[in-house]
């Protein structure tokens, strides 16, 4: 290949930056939609008088986005990354308009489910599109910027949501997606035009999708509602668990026989893919579960306001961004993706022990240090595990492996949040019941800080120490997850990172 041809078949740094800008906007849009909405939910419930169904505004999104990651991932291998990423953006923006225009809770929940399909596509397609144009050796440093986008959304999202509710309406939490999405669409459309993709006529696994969707839905409902909204031994939860097992088993059976499986069994032939999938599951179980508990601890046990407890997360997220960027550069420089996550999961163990030691009298500055340790550990783990799992598959399966990674992370987040919350509730109810106040513990958490303020003095003297003690058990479980992840890390093989990417079409051809 001549030098001129070679230059035409590689993406320039400027092109990579343009694509990265579009990808970051996609990820920022999907992440902001969760954090912005968190502070707008009370206003939504007030407008629609739909408190009993408020959780479904979040649940509907999570269910559809988790299932969509696999479908978009595989379809991008069949139809190309650019067209599927653009499809995800369009679906997300259309659903955002539907959310903003919703006139009742039912319409909002349905629109959120549609938005989740677009959000799942954004999450998996943005990662896969970046992998198309950046080699695995260099991907770590770019992946760190994606981690930074999520962390930034966690910092500024609640602030934007609060401003929307205070000065506009909660509907602007959805309208703000339009300018971001339009810019992202044109950046990705232009930037990804030169990716060489040869479309081949291959069958679509519609049956696999039909089996996967109800299976994933039932599974997510089991891990999300078990021990909180439904008792573990309740008939409803048992029925959901049986449905999940049946449909997931049927989906696995189908994938072994489908000519173009959504989750190709050949991926599991790679030891790196198997181990990295477990690690990604555990990573989100730890991070999502822990960061769900921390604001609750600070508000209920320490007595902080919601805005101050949120402000305390700024420095930890900043530490996560810095450690992610440094880790990405280290992976690029050394070509090794194993050492950093080992350190990261070790820091998770340390932070879990520190969190478990917290009491109502622990100084705020010390809690902040504990959270910074956790944030640094998170930054060490995120990018290398993405690189490892994408590097484990052939380029023809890049979309499928990226979708699978997003799928396992989503399941891990739901599992971690529900498990740690269930442990907290069970420990609290058991401790308070032993003092003769059965059921008062979980009722306190459901009622919010207002319920805490209204407690009789004698009950408050029992509940607050019991709550602090219950958080100890929840953080210990997070430490167990972290220990399991660290042990698993020693089984992750390190294979050389690819230095090649998909070829780029000549610029004249891409412009046509």
Q: Domain check: are 424 and 382 in the same one?
A: yes
pTM of the model: 0.77
* Cα 435 to Cα 440: distance, rounded to the nearest angstrom: 11
Closest by CA position to 178, among listed 63, 120, 101, 70: 101
pLDDT over threshold 50, residue 510: no
Pick the last residue of a domain from 216, 239, 258.
Answer: 258
pLDDT over threshold 70, residue 307: no
Q: Domain check: are 135 and 162 in the same one?
A: yes
Number of domains in the chain: 3
Q: Domain check: are 348 and 478 in the same one?
A: yes
Pick the last residue of a domain from 201, 221, 243.
Answer: 201
Q: Which helix (H) or strand (E) holds 259?
A: none
pLDDT band at 511 (very low <50, low <70, confident <90, very high): very low
Provide the sign of the torsion angle of the four alpha carbons 226, 228, 234, 237, taken in this order.
negative
Looking up residue 153, the CATH number of its domain turns out to be 1.20.1250.20
Q: Average pLDDT over the chain, rounded to whole?
A: 77
Q: Domain check: are 168 and 38 in the same one?
A: yes
Q: Which residues contact 4 (CB under 8 A, 6 or more apart)?
A: none
Q: Domain check: are 188 and 227 in the same one?
A: no
HSE value, Cβ hemisphere, 13 Å, CA-based, for 103: 0
Query: Has residue 465 been placed in a domain?
Result: yes
Neighbours of 438 (CB within 10 A): 12
User: How confident is the model over 229-265, as pLDDT tens digits?
Assistant: 677 778 877 888 888 889 888 888 887 877 777 777 7
Pick the last residue of a domain from 219, 235, 258.
Answer: 258
* Cα 296 to Cα 361: distance, rounded to the nearest angstrom: 16
DSSP 2: -
DSSP 263: S
Q: Domain check: are 226 and 169 in the same one?
A: no
Range of the domain at 423: 266-506
Token duo for residue 47: 């407008």
DSSP H stretches of helix in 298-338? 306-311, 314-334
Residues 434, 437, 442, 444, Cα dihedral to 10°:
-130
Q: Which residues contact 46 (CB under 8 A, 6 or more apart)?
A: none
């Amino acid at each position: 290949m001549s030098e001129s041809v070679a230059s035409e078949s590689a993406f320039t740094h400027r092109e990579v930056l343009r694509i990265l800008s579009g990808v970051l906007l996609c990820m920022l849009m999907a992440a902001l939609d969760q954090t912005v909405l968190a502070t707008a939910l009370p206003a939504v419930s007030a407008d629609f008088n739909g408190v009993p169904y408020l959780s479904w505004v979040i649940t509907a999104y999570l269910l559809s986005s988790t299932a969509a990651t696999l479908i978009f991932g595989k379809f991008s291998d069949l139809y190309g990354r650019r067209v599927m990423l653009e499809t995800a953006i369009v679906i997300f923006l259309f659903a955002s308009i539907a959310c903003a225009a919703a006139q009742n809770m039912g319409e909002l929940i349905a629109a959120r489910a549609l938005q989740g399909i677009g959000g799942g596509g954004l999450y998996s397609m943005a990662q896969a599109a970046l992998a198309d144009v950046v080699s695995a050796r260099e991907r770590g440093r770019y992946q760190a910027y994606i981690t930074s986008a999520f962390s930034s959304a966690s910092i500024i999202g609640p602030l934007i949501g609060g401003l929307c509710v205070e000065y506009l309406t909660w509907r602007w939490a959805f309208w703000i997606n339009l300018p971001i999405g339009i810019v992202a669409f044109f950046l990705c459309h232009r930037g990804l035009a030169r990716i060489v993709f040869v479309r081949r006529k291959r069958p679509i696994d519609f049956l696999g999708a039909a089996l996967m969707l109800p299976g994933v839905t039932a599974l997510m409902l089991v891990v999300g509602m078990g021990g909180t909204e439904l008792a573990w031994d309740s008939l409803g939860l048992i029925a959901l668990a049986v449905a999940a097992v049946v449909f997931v088993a049927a989906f696995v059976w189908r994938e072994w026989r489908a000519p173009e499986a959504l989750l190709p069994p050949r991926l599991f032939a790679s030891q790196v893919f198997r181990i990295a999938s477990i690690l990604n599951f555990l990573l989100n179980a730890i991070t999502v579960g822990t960061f769900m508990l921390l604001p609750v601890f600070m508000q209920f046990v320490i007595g902080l306001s919601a805005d101050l407890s949120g402000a305390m997360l700024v420095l930890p997220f900043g530490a996560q961004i810095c450690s992610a960027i440094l880790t990405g550069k280290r992976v690029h420089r050394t070509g090794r993706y194993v050492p950093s996550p080992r350190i990261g999961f070790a820091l998770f163990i340390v932070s879990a022990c520190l969190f478990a030691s917290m009491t109502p009298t622990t100084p705020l500055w010390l809690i902040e240090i504990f959270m910074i340790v956790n944030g640094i550990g998170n930054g060490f783990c995120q990018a290398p595990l993405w690189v490892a799992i994408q590097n484990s598959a052939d380029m023809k399966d890049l979309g499928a492996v990226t979708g699978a990674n997003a799928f396992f992370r989503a399941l891990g987040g739901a599992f971690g949040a529900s498990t740690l919350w269930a442990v907290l509730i069970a420990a609290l109810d058991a401790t308070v019941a032993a003092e003769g106040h059965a059921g008062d513990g979980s009722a306190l958490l459901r009622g919010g800080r207002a319920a805490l303020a209204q407690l009789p003095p004698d009950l408050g003297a029992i509940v607050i120490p019991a709550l602090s003690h219950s958080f100890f058990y929840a953080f210990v479980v997070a430490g167990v997850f972290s220990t399991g992840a660290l042990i698993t890390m020693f089984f992750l093989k390190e294979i050389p990172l690819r230095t090649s990417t998909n070829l780029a079409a000549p610029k004249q051809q891409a412009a046509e």
